[in-house]
Amino acid sequence: MPYATLDGIKTHYMTRGSGPHLLMMAPRGFNSRIESWGGGKWKEMDVFNALAGHFTIVAYDRREAGLTGGRVEVLNWEKFAQHGKLLLEHLGVDKAWVIGPCMGVAVAAQFAVLYPDNVIGLMLPQPVGGHRWFTRLRGFFDKHAAFVCEHGLPGVVQKVQGKSFQDDPECGPWASVLYHDKEFAARYVKQDLERYLKIVAETRDVMFPSSDVSGPCGQDLMRLETPTLVWAGDDASHATSAAHQLRELLPCVEYWEVHASRQTHETQLEQILNFKSKVESGAMVRKAA
């Protein structure tokens, strides 16, 4: 699979299929990479082959994940969304469908907020949010900061050993880059420790300020006119309340009201294709204010 350098960050991506482009924001939190679609199996769906029959899929390792590089700076949803936009520009794609399950919902929704003219339709399956998600993810950053205070930045490099931030929070948000990029690791250990800890704390606070659905703020969601398909999860990370928030706030939304236990690969693909057909035919209608 090819690489592209986007804003100085080496980015691992793949394309497949034909038809309109579909930008795929991978699930699995901070381990958002091509393989996070389950090696092509997502929710038992052979996702790449299934979707490549209807779209030209564009899947990639998000910055700071998988084989993609990164940069030590305050991370936020805007930076993650901008990374996806730069990939589309690299490929010469002006307009695309966008899908992002799990924490990918936050990135995909932010993408649509920042670049509404470049999004045909938005698909947001099983968004993350809720109090348990909020406390867990903030705890990731706190565990990493505590480890850094005790072992220093060289201790982080020694600990990583191929683990991601999602796998072991003590390894920190730049774990994957540290493992794959020795030059990055050499610069990483030379940073000012106090400044680094401030970056970690600010990233935690801007990405997870509350137990609301992760991603753009409510006001931005209320202004988002992009046709959107939402369906809910129901567990400690994918609180049903997060999907209900999107249904409440988004002005042009179709909500698939089926419990997560009854969502199958066949029915999810059917929902995606039905939604695609509605948007292309102009049948999606804005909710009354």
The tens digit of pLDDT for each residue in 243-285 reads 999 999 999 999 999 999 999 889 999 999 999 999 999 988 7
* Tally of CB atoms within 10 A around 122: 28
In a domain, 33, yes or no: yes
Shared-domain flag, residues 254 and 175: no
Shared-domain flag, residues 81 and 144: no
DSSP label at residue 73:
S
Q: What CATH code is carried by the domain that includes residue 249?
A: 3.40.50.1820
In a domain, 287, yes or no: no
Shared-domain flag, residues 143 and 117: no
Whether 288 has a pLDDT exceeding 80, the answer reads no
In a domain, 288, yes or no: no
Q: What is the DSSP string of 90-147?
A: HTT---EEEE--BTHHHHHHHHHHH-GGGEEEEEEESB-BSHHHHHHHHHHHHHHHHH
Shared-domain flag, residues 111 and 253: yes
Position 256: which residue type? W
Whether 224 has a pLDDT exceeding 80, the answer reads yes
Position 216: which residue type? P
Q: What is the mean pLDDT of the chain?
A: 95
Q: Shortest CA distance to 107 belongs to which of 97, 117, 99, 118?
A: 99
Q: Of 185, 207, 229, which residue sits at a domain end?
A: 207
Shared-domain flag, residues 144 and 120: no
Can you tell me whether residue 155 is helix, strand or coil? helix
Q: Shortest CA distance to 58 belongs to which of 92, 25, 102, 29?
A: 25
Torsion angle, CA of 170/175/238/24, rounded to 10 degrees? 180
Q: What is the DSSP string of 208-219?
A: -SSSSPSSS-HH
Shared-domain flag, residues 184 and 222: no
In a domain, 16, yes or no: yes
Q: What is the DSSP string of 221-245?
A: HHT--S-EEEE---SSSB-HHHHHH
Whether 84 has a pLDDT exceeding 60, the answer reads yes
Shared-domain flag, residues 119 and 219: yes
Shared-domain flag, residues 19 and 104: yes
Percent of the chain residues past pLDDT 90, beyond the cut: 92
Question: Sign of dihedral through CA atoms 265, 231, 98, 282?
Answer: positive
Sheet containing 253-256: which strands, arranged edge to edge?
Answer: 3-6, 9-17, 56-60, 21-24, 96-99, 119-125, 228-231, 253-256
In a domain, 84, yes or no: yes
| Average pLDDT estimate for 206-215 | 97
What is residue 289's predicted lDDT score, i.e. its pLDDT? Answer: 61
DSSP label at residue 183:
H
Residue 118, domain extent: 3-130+215-281
Tokens representing 266 are 């066949």
Confidence label for 287 from pLDDT (cuts 50, 70 and 90): confident
Q: Of 176, 207, 238, which residue sits at a domain end?
A: 207
In a domain, 235, yes or no: yes
Shared-domain flag, residues 99 and 136: no
Tokens representing 176 are 């994957």
Q: Tokens 């935690």 sit at which residue?
A: 204
Q: Shortest CA distance to 72 belongs to which of 220, 236, 184?
A: 184
Shared-domain flag, residues 108 and 8: yes
Shared-domain flag, residues 166 and 238: no
| Average pLDDT estimate for 127-141 | 97
What is residue 106's predicted lDDT score, i.e. its pLDDT? Answer: 98
Shared-domain flag, residues 10 and 111: yes
Q: Of 186, 207, 228, which residue sits at a domain end?
A: 207
Structure confidence by residue, pLDDT tens digits, 85-99: 999 999 999 999 999
> Domain tally for the chain?
2
In a domain, 286, yes or no: no
Whether 39 has a pLDDT exceeding 60, the answer reads no
In a domain, 109, yes or no: yes
pTM above 0.85, yes or no: yes
